[in-house]
Amino acid sequence: MARRGKRVGLLDGDIFGPTVPLLMNVHSEPIVNDKNLIIPPQNYNVKCLSMGMLTPLESAVIWRGPLVMSAIQRLLRGAEWGLLDVLIIDTPPGTGDVHLSLSQHAPITGVILVTTPHTAAVQVTLKGAKMFEKLKVPIFGVVENMGYTICNNCYQPMQFFQDSLMNSLPRKLISLPLDSHISDCNESGVPVVIKYPESDYANLFTKLAREISEILDRQNCSKQEVNDGLLP
């Protein structure tokens, strides 16, 4: 989305297992301005904020629900995100305090569900879909992650899981492969669209970003102002 000219923010909503610092190669501790607002660090033209930037790498966050919800509010409303077109919030699996807090206190435009096609993972995702339906939060669709790999001999896609409940989920937006190029990018903190911009893998992520942008544009919600860390 950032490569397509959008002003993008990425908030890591996984308090217990934050991954954004690794995936986006942002490890510096954010600074706080004179208004006591956190200034999100930026990389690849994306503003990023995560609990992983505020706690030591080896430490474990052991908090009950109220503290988790307070941390989410701090990251969301206690940061100076500035003017954004889209703020993407990466959440943990399931239907926990993070999802409920965001659904109740943030103006969510829509949800993208991400799952592997394994039956156990799909069952958890299906519960998440039911939760957002009850909360009347729009679901844009599903991203099938690690749904297949490309055979090194015949170069044809090979599926890992033949039977699943994928058809019981909302509309599939795209299927992403399990591939060493993507894995290497994750480990090095360089997005595949940056490291391999002309690859088939980058094209898949670009296609997904384009489709989500089009959904947002159709809803006239692609431009959302965030002033002084306070969402409208």
CB-based contacts of 186, cutoff 8 Å, min separation 6: 22, 23
Q: What is the pLDDT of residue 72?
A: 85
Phi first, then psi, for residue 34 (nearest 5°) are -70, -10
DSSP-derived secondary structure for 127-164: HHHHHHHHTT--EEEEEEEEEEEE-TTT--EEES-SS-
Examine the pLDDT at 231 and tell me if it is beyond 70. Answer: no
Q: 166, 171, 168, 123: which is closest to 148 by C-alpha?
A: 166
Tell me the C-alpha distance between 120 and 145, whole Å. 14
Q: How is the chain split into domains, by residue range? A: 1-107, 108-221
Examine the pLDDT at 197 and tell me if it is beyond 50. Answer: yes
Domains 1-107 and 108-221 share a fold: yes
Using pLDDT thresholds of 50, 70 and 90, give the confidence band for residue 208. Answer: very high
Examine the pLDDT at 223 and tell me if it is beyond 50. Answer: no
- Mean pLDDT for the chain? 86
Tell me the C-alpha distance between 220 and 204, whole Å. 24
Predicted structure pTM score: 0.86
Q: 9, 91, 19: which is closest to 50 by C-alpha?
A: 19
Please report, for residues 24, 47, 152, 177, the alpha-carbon distance to residue 180 in angstroms, rounded to integers and kept in the order given: 18, 27, 12, 10
Question: Three-state DSSP class for 20?
Answer: helix
What is the mean pLDDT of the segment spanning 47-63? 77
Tell me the C-alpha distance between 187 and 24, whole Å. 10
Give 137-182 pLDDT, tens digit per residue.
999 999 999 988 888 888 888 888 876 778 889 899 999 998 888 8
Query: Do 12 and 52 contact (CB within 8 A), yes or no?
Result: yes
Q: Under CATH, which architecture does the 108-221 domain have?
A: 3-Layer(aba) Sandwich (3.40)
Q: Under CATH, which architecture does the 1-107 domain have?
A: 3-Layer(aba) Sandwich (3.40)
> Half-sphere exposure of residue 161, counting CA atoms within 13 Å on the CB side?
18
39 burial class (0-12, 13-18, 19+ CB within 10 angstroms)?
A: middle
Query: Do 204 and 174 contact (CB within 8 A), yes or no?
Result: yes
For the record, the structure tokens of 67 come out as 């503290």
Examine the pLDDT at 232 and tell me if it is beyond 60. Answer: no
